[in-house]
Amino acid sequence: MLKRFSTAVALCLISIPLAACSSGDDDSSKNNDASWSGHRYLLSIKKGDWAVPRGVGADLFGVAPAFMFDIQGSGSNQTTTLGYGTATMLDADKNPVALPPEQIKQDACGPTTTATVGADGSVTVPQMKLHVINASQTPPLQVTADVFNLKFSNVFPNGGTTSTSGTLEATMDFKQLYILFASLGPTRDAASVCQALSEHYTLSTCMDDSCKVKCEPCPNASATDTPTCLTVQATDLGAILADDHTVSPITSVGASCADSPAPSSM
């Protein structure tokens, strides 16, 4: 793990989309179950689940996100309210410790969104706001940033069987998230975060320089904008039934949820 680059970021997410990449073609694990409606599901992401860029989870997601789905409707009209929380807490030494499902709570600073649930169980959100915290800092740093093309694939149970082949993909914009990367110093900006990522990560198992991570233009960028987005992916996922959880719609948040100031103004 690259300790100097680690941000111990707590992604307060309950539903986040990414450009998914299937981890297997075993038809027995494909989701085609119409019984998800009327239930709530919890999807916890561990550091080791982050597969692209290679090793990104160990340094960027020191505190794991948990996604919450409240599915309603029937047939081709199923929708989900997406919320999120954190699947881990930091101990006294600021090491992440997994929380049992019953202790995972919805993030009150995290705006929820509503999305369609495909017949195959996929959930795609073109753009949503994600509340993200760097809990390793004192006081913690936080921003509510744009995430694009968030996609969950094959994460819901097939009957009573928890999926083991689900994927999550999302495109993250460092124009806002750069504030969290305190280890890069007070002059950090989106470009310096992208440069640090390029120096330390490759896209998958490829270790050649041609496979180094590079930030890409964001979906809402103009032709003259500097590329500040990166697509990340988690694999081998499976949501569990969590009807004892509540996913409350959140459209506005309190003053305590305000973004931390930019480094130059701190």
pLDDT of amino acid 25: 44
> Stretch 95-114: mean pLDDT, rounded?
89
Contact 10, 130 (CB under 8 A): no
Q: How far apart are CA 207 and CA 221, in angstroms?
A: 29
Domain count along the chain: 1
Q: Is 203 left (phi over 0), alpha (psi -120 to 50) or beta?
A: alpha
Residue 100 lies in a domain: yes
Residue 265 lies in a domain: no
pLDDT of amino acid 251: 92
Task: Tell whether the model's pLDDT for residue 155 goes beyond 80.
Answer: yes
pLDDT of amino acid 61: 53
The pLDDT tens digits for 51-76 are 888 766 555 555 678 999 999 998 88
pLDDT of amino acid 266: 57
**How confident is residue 9, by pLDDT bands cut at 50, 70 and 90?**
very low
- pLDDT greater at residue 136 or residue 21: 136
Contact 15, 69 (CB under 8 A): yes
pLDDT of amino acid 261: 94
pLDDT of amino acid 3: 43
User: What is the pTM assigned to this prediction?
Assistant: 0.82
Residue 104 lies in a domain: yes
Percent over 90 (pLDDT), the chain: 48
**How confident is residue 192, by pLDDT bands cut at 50, 70 and 90?**
very high
Residue 27 lies in a domain: yes
Which residues span the domain enclosing 57?
3-172+232-245
Q: Is 13 left (phi over 0), alpha (psi -120 to 50) or beta?
A: beta
Residue 210 lies in a domain: no
Residue 7 lies in a domain: yes
Token readout for 72 is: 């309603």
